[in-house]
Structure 1
């Protein structure tokens, strides 16, 4: 969650990790999934990578998505 404190578009201070963030952004947005899986050219607004030493058996990964409310829609007449 530490990476969430960096503003959108701000890259990591390590140039190698910053390059990884940019490469991942390009590749994710090329998938064509789009917002909420509806198709489009923007799937992710930003990708942040943080590193820390850890045992290979416990590599942590966090993926933050929109809340349940923004992924479901109801229509009432």
Structure 2
């Protein structure tokens, strides 16, 4: 019900509360929409996207950029010692939901994020 600004506030607050615990710099996965269970699942799916690859949806890509800027403005920095880079990337995945609700889930991954692909 708080829209885009509420989502940004929630995600930035979640990262601020985590502080140095996820071993920044981090990759942030955000799931928006569906049921809460779906939001949690797609927040994990968001972490599977290659680091720094923006969403193909222009609105979602803009949200990712804004979230990254605000998270880095927290100044948590590498290993929580302060600095400009708290997050390396923010990836957002969305799913349709009822207009009266907007579940949001946040997942963090440390900088030692391993990523591989398999072609079948």
Distance 1:29 1:4 in 2: 18
2:103 matched residue in structure 1: 59
Distance 1:63 1:3 in 2: 9
Q: Which has the higher strand share?
A: 2
Q: Secondary structure in 2 aligned to 1:48?
A: strand
Report runs of 4+ in structure 1 exceeding 2 Å deviation: none
Larger relative contact order, structure 1 or 2 (CA cutoff 8 Å, min sep 6): 2
- RMSD in angstroms over aligned alpha carbons? 1.7
Larger-gyration structure (1/2): 1
Distance 1:19 1:39 in 2: 26
More moved, 30-39 vs 8-17: 30-39
Give 1:38 deviation, angstroms: 1.2
Give 1:31 deviation, angstroms: 1.4
Structure 2 unaligned spans of 5+: 1-43, 111-120
With structure 1 as the length reference, what TM-score do the two structures score?
A: 0.72
Structure 1 unaligned spans of 5+: 67-77
1:18 matched residue in structure 2: 61
Give 1:65 deviation, angstroms: 4.2
- CA offsets per residue over residues 19-74 of structure 1, 9 Å max, x none? 11011111111111112321011000110111112352x714022144xxxxxxxx
